[in-house]
Chain A
Amino acid sequence: MAAAGRRTAAVYLWGYAVEMTIKAAYFQVVGFLATQSIAIQHLSAAKANAPSLAIVRKGGNLHSVESWAELLVGMRGIQPGWAYADPAFAGRVLGNARAIGCLWTETLRYRKNLAYHFEVDQAHEAAGWFLTNMYQM
């Protein structure tokens, strides 16, 4: 898409892939099987858990990639044996989520603007990091 000049669409798709990757990692941590359905009730239950992890969610809906990354890292942090072996990895999860969170919202698909090349590059880099490291998350 990016190569074809659909730069905003490319950013949207990468952001969406990151959102799904982080959510999948979160639900894997809390014991979901890979084949198990995730309903809106599960997403809302995770959101309801945020205050107990001292996480202030950004936005009122269930799409903030930054908030989901914080939830994932926070949830891993509070359970014995769940924390990342390399503490710096948690920082990279949060940093890359922040990077794409600055460029992406779920409403991007309704926009008619054209993303700058540097924005496309940033979104590509952050999404690439998540897709490369998804099994460690």
Chain B
Amino acid sequence: MPRIKREVELEVKPKFSSLVEQLADELRNNRAYGQPVIEEMRLPRTDALRVTVIWDNWEGVPFEDRSNTILQAYEDVEGRGFRERIVLATAFTFPEAYEVGMLPYQVLPLVRKDDPVSVEKCVEAMVEEGASLLFAPDEPQLRFAKREEAEACVKRLVKRLPKSEPVWAITRDVGRIEPRALD
């Protein structure tokens, strides 16, 4: 009978090499704003890390490939040892993260006729800040996990658009009525 030798494939090569490169660049540059949002959570008592990357570029990428992409980008930038500290690498698009309640804070432009800035300028600044266009292409949404992050974003928006301070509002979701509850 044939004797067939096979090996368990321990290394899964990421299929989305351009995303690996883009994410690696983001890890190197560590920008204060924009997409992706990369959250590293260190677990107590160990050096282990849980990494979450919220990024609209995940749209259309299978979930497992997203995780492998994150792990490879970390290995490229931080080395093998750092990658092995990551016990869970999770990826969401902004709408997905919003759906599971990770982004309850939103920064909104409330522009009136006599305000010194236009809606178009606000939208432009929001997109530069990393607003998601996946909720609706013509209505970018700036969403955050924490109030402090939303407040820091407003400060940057005011810097980008001087005198726009009264325009920006921060809202917090207080829960949604699930369609099933109405059945």
Chain A interface residues toward B at CB < 8 A = 30-31, 37, 39-42, 44-49, 51-52, 54, 56, 75, 79-82
On chain B, the residues within 8 Å of A54 by CB distance are: 8, 10
Contact in complex: A45, B90 (CB < 8 Å): yes
Question: Please, what's the 1-or-0 string for B73-87, where 1 marks a CB less than 8 Å from any CB in chain A?
Answer: 000000000001001
Contact in complex: B96, A39 (CB < 8 Å): yes
Contact in complex: A45, B63 (CB < 8 Å): yes
The complex places the Cα of A40 from the Cα of B99 at a distance, in Å, of: 12
Contact in complex: B89, A45 (CB < 8 Å): yes
Q: 27 A-B residue contacts at CB 8 Å?
A: A30-B43, A31-B41, A39-B92, A39-B96, A39-B100, A40-B63, A41-B92, A41-B96, A41-B100, A42-B90, A45-B63, A45-B66, A45-B89, A45-B91, A46-B88, A48-B12, A48-B64, A48-B67, A48-B89, A51-B8, A51-B12, A52-B10, A52-B84, A75-B87, A79-B46, A79-B87, A81-B46
Tell me the interface secondary structure of chain A in the complex.
helix
On chain A, the residues within 8 Å of B8 by CB distance are: 51, 54, 56
A30-B50, A54-B8, A82-B46 known; A41+B63 contact, CB < 8 A: yes
Lowest 5 CB-CB distances: which A-B pairs, in order? A44-B63, A48-B67, A45-B90, A31-B43, A48-B64
* Any A CB within 8 A of the CB of B183: no
Contact in complex: A47, B64 (CB < 8 Å): yes
* Any A CB within 8 A of the CB of B116: no
* Any A CB within 8 A of the CB of B9: yes
The complex places the Cα of A81 from the Cα of B47 at a distance, in Å, of: 11
On chain B, the residues within 8 Å of A42 by CB distance are: 88, 90
